[in-house]
Structure 1
Amino acid sequence: MIDLHTHSLFSDGELIPSELVRRFEALEYRAVAITDHVDCSTLDFVVPRIAQAAKELTESQPVMVVPGVELTHVPPMSIADLCRKARDLGARLVVVHGETIVEPVPAGTNRAALEAGVDLLAHPGLITPEEVGMAAEKGVFLEISGRKGHSLTNGHVAKLAREFGARLVIDSDTHSPGDIMGETLARKVAMGAGLPPAFFDELMSNAHLLIKRAGYRL
């Protein structure tokens, strides 16, 4: 199992990185990305600390920890620049907080993230067919979310992604211990999105591809 979207105390999560990773280890995960919320005011504080924690934790326990960020509620015109800065500071996985239907995310965020070539567009809500085509073309992965509210449009995202050939991953968007998904629940979330049971292996394979693209080997 791999989860590429989690949060720690460096943003609005409840756990310090070491406990967050330990809880994933207890569920036999192979890799987890810590992708705390950032904007222009917190980027330079959060990323180096996550990067250092990820390095030390990867060296001291069996779960590979990938340092990342989630650019959240930032003006769409700022996404490309913040993505570059995040990578320069040590983020190996750049996620953008997509246009979920349960939060007032600025219109145009999905498109700006795709144009910037981020790694993962999280819970992209009622993403358009044109945007899903862009995701496929640019190699931006789309998320099936296990988080309450964000998951309401999983079926829409899954249907268009399969139609246009965009790659999908499944993540918990963990903020608290109870958010972490075991494999049984993750499979049910995928099926609830309308994906056939056998497609779960492709979701994990896609997550593995993102890990590899970030420069890691499992």
Structure 2
Amino acid sequence: MIDLHTHTLFSDGELIPSELARRAKEIGYSAIAFTDHADFSNMEFIIKNLLKVVGGLEKYFGLYVFAGVEITHVPPELVADAVKKAYSLGAEIVVVHGESPVEPVKKGTNKAAIEADCDVLAHPGLIEEEDAKLAAKNGVYLEISARSGHSFTNGHVYKMAKKHAAKCVLNTDTHSPHNLIDDQFAKVVLMGAGMDENEVKKTLFNAEELLERLLKRRYDEKNR
């Protein structure tokens, strides 16, 4: 399982990074990203502290670990600045909290996130066709969410992604230990979004592709 959207005690998650990584490893994860909720007020704090632990967790737990943020409820007009700042502070992955059907995210956030070239647009809700087209063009992954509530529109997200050749990834949006899932349940979530077996395999491959992007970015950053 590759899961690139989770939360720790640095926002509204229940676990410190070390415990979250260990629990993920125990159920078969090969990669995890900590992407705590952030805006301009706490972004530096989150990234600085997550970066303190990722190296050690990777070395001693034996899975890839990334420090990132989920830009959350930032006005659409400021999303691009927030994404740019997150990367400048050292975030290894930037997720943007999309227009979920169960939260009052301001309309226009999906488009702003895609235009800002974030890595993943999380739970984009009833994403519009033009935004799905733009995601395909910009290489922004659309999230299929395993989290209750956010998952209500998974079918629509996948329908739009498939129609416009945008790539999807599955993430858990973990806040609690029981939100972590194994490979078998991951396939159930994807099939529930309307995928057949080949489409499930393709979506899981997309996660591997995104992981490769993150590792390359890390390598390039270290060799500057």
Q: What CA distance in whole angstroms lies between the structure 2 residues aligned with 1:50 and 1:56?
A: 11
1:201-212 correspondence to structure 2 within 5 Å: 201-212=201-212
Measured against aligned partners, the alpha-carbon deviations of 1:128-151 in whole angstroms (never above 9, x if no partner) come to: 011000000000000000000000
Indicate the SS of the match to 1:65: strand
Amino acid at match of 1:125: G
Aligned Cα root-mean-square deviation (Å): 1.1
| Alignment partner, residue 102 of structure 2 | 102
| Alignment partner, residue 7 of structure 1 | 7
| Alignment partner, residue 81 of structure 1 | 81
1:18-57 correspondence to structure 2 within 5 Å: 18-57=18-57
Q: Are 2:152 and 1:152 aligned? A: yes
| Alignment partner, residue 194 of structure 2 | 194
Q: What CA distance in whole angstroms lies between the structure 2 residues aligned with 1:107 and 1:17?
A: 32
Q: What CA distance in whole angstroms lies between the structure 2 residues aligned with 1:215 and 1:171?
A: 18
Indicate the SS of the match to 1:70: strand
Measured against aligned partners, the alpha-carbon deviations of 1:30-72 in whole angstroms (never above 9, x if no partner) come to: 1011111001100011111112211221122211101111000
| Alignment partner, residue 133 of structure 2 | 133
Amino acid at match of 1:48: K
| Alignment partner, residue 69 of structure 2 | 69
Q: Percent identity?
A: 51
Q: What CA distance in whole angstroms lies between the structure 2 residues aligned with 1:31 and 1:22?
A: 11
| Alignment partner, residue 162 of structure 1 | 162
- How far did residue 77 of structure 1 move? 1.1
Q: What CA distance in whole angstroms lies between the structure 2 residues aligned with 1:214 and 1:79?
A: 21
Indicate the SS of the match to 1:152: helix
Unaligned runs of 5+ in 2: 219-224
- How far did residue 198 of structure 1 move? 2.5
Indicate the SS of the match to 1:215: helix
Q: What CA distance in whole angstroms lies between the structure 2 residues aligned with 1:208 and 1:66?
A: 14
Q: What CA distance in whole angstroms lies between the structure 2 residues aligned with 1:55 and 1:166?
A: 32
Amino acid at match of 2:211: I
**TM-score, structure 1 as length reference:** 0.97
- How far did residue 200 of structure 1 move? 2.1
Q: What CA distance in whole angstroms lies between the structure 2 residues aligned with 1:200 and 1:3?
A: 15
Indicate the SS of the match to 2:144: strand
Unaligned runs of 5+ in 1: none
Amino acid at match of 2:201: D
Q: What CA distance in whole angstroms lies between the structure 2 residues aligned with 1:184 and 1:215?
A: 25
- How far did residue 27 of structure 1 move? 1.0
Q: Bigger shift: 58-67 or 158-167? A: 58-67
Amino acid at match of 1:134: L
- How far did residue 178 of structure 1 move? 0.7
Q: Bigger shift: 144-153 or 60-69? A: 60-69
Task: Point out 4+ residue stretches in structure 1 off by more than 3 angstroms.
Answer: none
Measured against aligned partners, the alpha-carbon deviations of 1:71-95 in whole angstroms (never above 9, x if no partner) come to: 0001111111111111111111100
Q: What CA distance in whole angstroms lies between the structure 2 residues aligned with 1:141 and 1:82?
A: 18
Q: What CA distance in whole angstroms lies between the structure 1 residues aligned with 2:121 and 2:194?
A: 19
